Amino acid sequence: MNSASTTDESAIRVALPELLAISALARGAALAESRRASAAQSGLHLSRWRGRGVDFRESRIYQPGDDIRHMDWRVTARSGRAHTKLFEEERERGLLLLVDFNPGMRFGTRVRFKSVQAARAASLLAWLASANGDRVGICGFGGGIAAEVKPARGRRGVLQVLRALRDWDHAAADSNEALSSGLERARRLLRPGMRLVLVSDGFSADAESSPALLRSAGRHELGAVLLSDQLEQHPPPAGRFALSLAGKRRVLDFDNLRMRRQWSQSFAERRLKLRSELQRIGARVVDLSTDSDLRRSLAPFTQRSVGPRDSQA
């Protein structure tokens, strides 16, 4: 059930020229940073974690396992208790996009499919990260896509991501993969200081997604773009509608009041559960409809903030 014109291929398939053109939307903006390092090399940022590095942060009481080379002898002598120095590490920041290619993403009744809007959102985030001087990479899951592009800096890194979005969208099959599986693959690509942004409609979330998200949140900044279509938010007009799902034909009766009430509720509950979990662990979350203005909807990712920001698109 798609209202996008069937003659407009870019509404139902990811097109590389459109992803390249989205670079114009990124002009004058960059992904938000909580703190920036004063390093000469672009792309280096102060870490949220403490450890060995270049800038002294503080001294604390010595703990077993601390490096004896970083003992603070002056404070130790003054206090009578062993102290060690802590430093603020510089870590090279990067963005890893985790994009959902499950069959449910190939749906849309307003302007374009969710899969196309997801690719547009991922490309804008990639251009924004590149504006920071950050490395950009991508991991795909669902639809038989179990591929990755390792993070790279500059226009070359962004172009690799955009080509992957195009190629994987065209190659996606009618097979499902759970979000937890994609998260585990993405976690193996993440390096200290990198951020992870999920781009999905949230319907692939499973029981193992929460612990997988929690493991990533312990060491990485998380974000999410949750896709939806107007037909998922509001039931269609009264009447009987035929649809095909996984090769099976079904007829839905929207003259039935109970059906109309349950329709939107079922979609909302699945997405809300994942959204609540993401917010609980401090992720920055935005909702993005298939007909939403891309830059306005993703604006929270360009706003500097200590905590997560949320936006309804």
Residue 251 banded pLDDT, cuts 50, 70, 90:
confident
Separation between Cα atoms, residue 197 and residue 222, nearest integer Å: 6
pLDDT digits (tens, 9 = 90+) for 290-304: 999 999 999 999 876
The average confidence (pLDDT) of the chain is: 85
pLDDT score of 288: 97
With CA atoms as reference, report the closest residue to 210 among 276, 286, 139: 276
Structure tokens at 55: 């800038």
Which is higher by pLDDT, 91 or 280? 280
Could you tell me where in the chain the CATH 3.40.50.410 domains are found?
9-33+93-311
Check whether 308 has a pLDDT greater than 50: no
* Tokens 């193992």 -> residue: 208
Structure tokens at 200: 């999905």
What spatial distance separates the first Cα and last Cα of the chain, rounded to whole Å? 22
pLDDT digits (tens, 9 = 90+) for 88-124: 554 557 999 999 999 999 999 999 999 999 999 999 9
In one-letter notation, the amino acid at residue 170 is H
Strand 284-289, strand 221-228: pairing: parallel
The fraction of the chain above a pLDDT of 70, given in percent, is 84
Residue 85 banded pLDDT, cuts 50, 70, 90:
confident
- Three-class SS of the chain: CCCCCCCCHHHCCCCHHHHHHHHHHHCCCCCCCCCCCCCCCCCEEEEEEEECCCEEEEEEECCCCCCHHHECHHHHHHHCCCEEEEEEEEEECEEEEEEECCHHHCCCCCCCCHHHHHHHHHHHHHHHHHHCCCEEEEEEECCCCCCEEEEEEHHHHHHHHHHHHHHHHHHCCCCCCCHHHHHHHHHHHCCCCCEEEEEECCCCCCCCHHHHHHHHHCCCEEEEEEEECHHHHCCCCCCEEEEEECCEEEEEECCCHHHHHHHHHHHHHHHHHHHHHHHHCCCEEEEEECCCCHHHHCHHHHCCCCCCCEECC
pLDDT digits (tens, 9 = 90+) for 115-136: 999 999 999 999 999 998 899 9
CATH 3.40.50.410 given to domain 9-33+93-311: yes
The pTM (predicted TM-score) of the whole model is: 0.78
What distance separates the 2 farthest-apart alpha carbons in the chain?
A: 83
Separation between Cα atoms, residue 73 and residue 7, nearest integer Å: 74
